[in-house]
Amino acid sequence: MKIAMIGTGYVGLVSGVCFSDFGHEVVCVDKDATKIAKLRDGKVPIFEPGLEALMARNVAAGRLSFTLDLAEAMRGADAVFIAVGTPTRRGDGHADLTYVMAAAEEIAHALDHYAVVVTKSTVPIGTNRKVAETIRAANPAADFDVASNPEFLREGAAIDDFMRPDRVVVGVETERAKKIMADIYRPLFLRDFPVVYTGLESAEMIKYAANAFLATKITFINEIAALCERVGADIKAVSKGMGLDGRIGNKFLHAGPGYGGSCFPKDTKALARMGQDHASPIQIVESVIKVNDEIKRRMIEKIEDLCEGSCRDKVIAVLGVTFKPNTDDMRDAPALTIVPALVGAGAKVRVVDPEGRREGEHLLPGVRWMEDAYSAAEGASVLVILTEWNEFRALDLQRLARGMADARMADLRNVYAPADARAAGFTHYVGVGR
C-alpha cells in the first residue's frame, strides 16, 4: 500500500515509520521545512527509544521519505492519514481543529483518485463527518471515504505499542474503505492482534473514553494516597492489593504528582466540554480534572513542609522534569506547576533530566541545569524526585545524603523505601501516600 502521513509530530512520525516497517510505502508531509530537512538527514526531532534506528532502516530500504509537498505525497496514495495537533482551544476547553480542517482542505485540492482519508489525530465526536463535508465542499468531484483510526501510543514505548497493540480501532462506513484499512493493518491481523471495526462516532469516542478512564484511575489512586497519609496506611500496599484483582488490574495505580503529557490533560478537558455541550455532563471526568490540579499543589506543600514552611534561599535539587520517563515531552508535566512555584517562593532550584533539558530550558526559567543527581544535590537542603527515570532508581543514597547541606527527600514517585532513605542518612523522607 502507499500511505501519505500528514504531520511529523509524535503520532505522525511514529505511525509513518512503523507503517513503512510493515512494508508499505510511506511519505510523511510537514509544513516545517527545518523539521523535514532534519528528518531527511536522519535526525529525529523527538526522543523515542528505537525510533531513529527504525526510521533509518526504512529510509535505506526506500519505503520511507519526507516532503513539504502534500500533492507529491498523495500521488497514488491508497490512504491519507491526518496526524496533526489538536491542542486545547483557549477559552472553552474544546480541541482546536484548525490544523485538521486545514489538512482536509489541502487534501481536497490534491485528491485526483480514490483514497481513504484517515483521521489519526484525537478529535471530538463528529469530526470525521466534518472532514468529509470540508473535502466535498472544496472538491465536489472527489472520490474518497473517511475513516477514524485513533492512536493508543504510550510515549517511551510507542514502537512496541504500534507493533504489538492491545487493539487497533477502525471506524469506517463502506466496505471499500474497510478493505483498504484491513490491508494496511494486515501484518497485525495475521499475528492475531485484535482489530475492532466500528462506526465513525464510536471510534472517536473510544479514544476519549479510554484516556479519560486511565486519567480517572490515576487520580483515584492519588486521592486514596492522600487519605492513606491521614490514616497511617501505605499506598504501595494498597495499590498492590487492589491491582491483584483481575477486574481492576495493576496498571495506572501508582501514586504520584498527577498526570500530564500530550493526551490526558487535553482529552479529559475536551470530553468534559463535549458532555456539557450535549447536556450530558460527565461529572466524574470534571472532578478528575479539578483533583489533578489540586494534587500538583499538594506536592508543592510537601516540599514547603520539608523546608520548614519557607523555600526562600533554600537549594532544592529536582530529579526529572518530563511528564514521564523515556520521553523528552514536557507538555503539561507536573514540573511545569511545581518547579515555577518553588522558584517563585525564592528557592534556588537545580534540575537534572536525561532528556528534558532541550524543552525545559525555555519552559523553566530561573533554574540551574546540572549533569547528574550528585552534583545537583551537593549542598542542597531538599532532594525532590519528580520523574522516575531508571537512572534515579538506583542512586547511592548515602553519597547523596553526605553531600547535602540538609539531607531531606521528597520522593514524589515512591521510588525508595522510607526506611532505606533514613538508613542512608536522610533525616526527613516524604513520599506520596506513605
Distance from chain centroid for Cα 158: 10
Give the residue-averaged pLDDT of 355-370. Answer: 95
pLDDT at 71: 95
Supply the Cα-derived Rg of the chain in whole angstroms: 23
- Which parts of 232-282 fold into alpha helices (H)? 235-243, 264-277
Annotated binding site for substrate: 152-155, 207, 252-256, 260, 324
Which tens digit of pLDDT belongs to each residue from 96-119?
999 999 999 999 999 999 999 999
pTM of the shown model: 0.93
Distance CA 287, CA 218 (A): 13
Q: Spell out the CATH class of 294-430.
A: alpha beta
Which CATH number is 208-290 given? Answer: 1.10.1040.10
pLDDT at 90: 80
pLDDT at 262: 86
Which tens digit of pLDDT belongs to each residue from 20-64?
999 999 999 999 999 999 999 999 999 999 999 999 999 999 999
Annotated binding site for NAD(+): 30, 35, 86, 122, 155, 266, 331
pLDDT(91) > 80: no
3-state secondary structure 31-81: CCHHHHHHHHCCCCCCCCCCHHHHHHHHHHCCCEEEECCHHHHHCCCCEEE
CB atoms within 10 A of CB 40: 12
* Whether the domain at 2-198 and the domain at 294-430 fall into the same CATH topology: yes
pLDDT band at 92 (very low <50, low <70, confident <90, very high): confident
Domain coordinates in residue numbering, the chain: 2-198, 208-290, 294-430
Sequence-distant (6+) residues with CB within 8 A of 321 are: 330, 333, 335, 339, 351, 353, 356, 360, 364, 386, 387
Annotated binding site: 30, 35, 86, 122, 152-155, 207, 252-256, 260, 266, 324, 331
Q: Spell out the CATH class of 2-198.
A: alpha beta
pLDDT band at 94 (very low <50, low <70, confident <90, very high): confident
Catalytic residue status for 228: no
Which residue in 18, 228, 263, 307 is the catalytic one?
263
Distance CA 289, CA 279 (A): 19
Compute the mean pLDDT over every residue in the chain, rounded to the nearest whole number: 96
Query: Do the Cβ atoms of 255 and 229 come closer than 8 Å?
Result: no
Give me the residue label for grid cell 514502537: 159
Backbone angles phi, psi at 98, to 5 degrees: -55, -50
pLDDT(419) > 80: yes
DSSP 87: P
pLDDT(171) > 80: yes
The DSSP element (H or E) to which 6 belongs, if any, is strand 2-6
pLDDT band at 88 (very low <50, low <70, confident <90, very high): confident
